[in-house]
Amino acid sequence: MALGVIPAAFSLTIGQLGDPRFRRVLFIGVGLTFALLVAVTAGVLLLVNWLLGPEASLPLIGPVTWVNDLATVTGFLVMLVLSVFLMVPVASAITSLFLDDVAQAVEDRHYPALPPVGHQGIGEAVKDSVAFLGVLIAANLLALVLYVIFAPFALFIFWGLNGFLLGREYYTLAAMRRVGREEAARLRRRHMGTIWMAGVLMAMPLSIPLVNLVIPILGAATFTHIFHKLQARG
């Protein structure tokens, strides 16, 4: 594993946080993430109220008015807990839509001699982001079972799982811009140890509220550096 490229890549990323293109993607990503989570929460609450109807009824008791209120509050609290886990994949997937902007900002500043790249079509970008979002959400929902069974190791499971998924996806997206999908997959397999370790280091701050909203931007830039540094090593 070429672990030495990770701190160098992260250091270069931190030095570029003031880039206006970074801030633009951050604001768009955070805004869309909150909007989506609010919409999903509202949809769940509306569904709960629709299923219960205007007035719930219990056997032997008859109509009760507090069941709807309890179900609404419970549904809101459940979505609040789930949002802690879903915020990460949603923010990451939305940010991946704009990864090209972040990667281009990195290359303009640190690798200006590179030839221009053909920009990915919006349809392909949306397709990749939706697929990435689906995998992240499914994996994290399934991992909830592991968190309960192996509660003392829940945080390590979270880091390992999301580190693998985020590292795999962000490295692939960064590499695809330069070498295409098939070669990116080959290089990813070759450097999987380094990519996974970088992904774990990226996943660790995801458990810190608010800080986790910045991580997708840092990841996109860091993995762009990692790709170029690994390419330079041959």
- List strand residue ranges (DSSP E) for 52-165, in order: 56-58, 62-64
> Are 64 and 33 in contact, with CB atoms under 8 Å apart?
no
Task: Evaluate if residue 56 carries a pLDDT over 60.
Answer: no
Give the lowest-confidence range in 30-39, 74-83, 197-206.
Answer: 74-83
Q: What is the pLDDT of residues 109-129, one digit of tens each?
A: 999 998 887 666 666 666 776
Give the lowest-confidence range in 48-57, 82-91, 136-145, 212-221.
Answer: 48-57
| Per-residue pLDDT at 190 | 94
pTM of the model: 0.77
- Mean pLDDT value of segment 136-165: 86
| Per-residue pLDDT at 8 | 92
DSSP 170-203: HHHHHHHHHHHHHHHHHHHHHTHHHHHHHHHHHH
Say whether 53 sits in a helix, a strand or coil: coil
Task: Evaluate if residue 159 carries a pLDDT over 80.
Answer: yes
- Could you tell me the two tokens for 97? 């839509």
Q: How far is CA 9 from CA 2, 91, 110, 116, 118, in A?
A: 12, 22, 11, 21, 24
Q: What is the pLDDT of residues 64-78, one digit of tens each?
A: 555 556 556 666 666
Please, is 54 exposed, middle or buried when counting C-beta atoms within 10 Å of its C-beta (0-12, 13-18, 19+)?
A: exposed
Query: pLDDT-based confidence at 82, cuts 50/70/90?
Result: low
- Mean pLDDT value of segment 213-226: 87
What is the Cα–Cα distance from 30 to 27, expressed in whole angstroms? 5
| Per-residue pLDDT at 72 | 60
Comparing 24 with 137, the larger pLDDT belongs to 24
CA 69 centroid distance within chain = 33
Task: Evaluate if residue 9 carries a pLDDT over 90.
Answer: yes
